């Protein structure tokens, strides 16, 4: 039994209606699903870190203005 996969043109991957064999498309599909899953985990964590950094850099005048009080400059 021949265990080698048939060669195909990799430019077909870049076409909207490219002809990619099913056996070759499964690994690309799994890679895409994992990339989407990881991006959904990393992006909210990254935004949380950015929010914490922006909150810690705010001074007392910024805190008072955010709470609706008068700035103490």
Q: How confident is the model at residue 39 (pLDDT cuts 50, 70, 90)?
A: confident
**Length in residues, the chain:** 73
Count H helices and E strands in the chain, helices first: 2, 0
Task: Specify the DSSP class assigned to residue 36.
Answer: H
Q: What global pTM score does this model have?
A: 0.48
Q: Which of 25, 27, 26 is nearest to 13 (CA)?
A: 25
Q: What pLDDT score does 7 carry?
A: 79
On the question of pLDDT at 5 being above 90, the answer is no
């Amino acid at each position: 039994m021949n265990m080698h996969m048939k060669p195909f043109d990799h430019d077909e991957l870049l076409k909207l209606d490219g002809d990619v064999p099913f056996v070759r498309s499964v690994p690309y599909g799994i890679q895409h699903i994992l990339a989407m899953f990881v991006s959904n985990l990393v992006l909210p964590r990254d935004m949380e870190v950015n929010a914490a950094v922006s909150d810690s850099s705010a001074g007392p005048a910024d805190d008072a203005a955010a709470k609706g009080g008068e700035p103490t400059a």
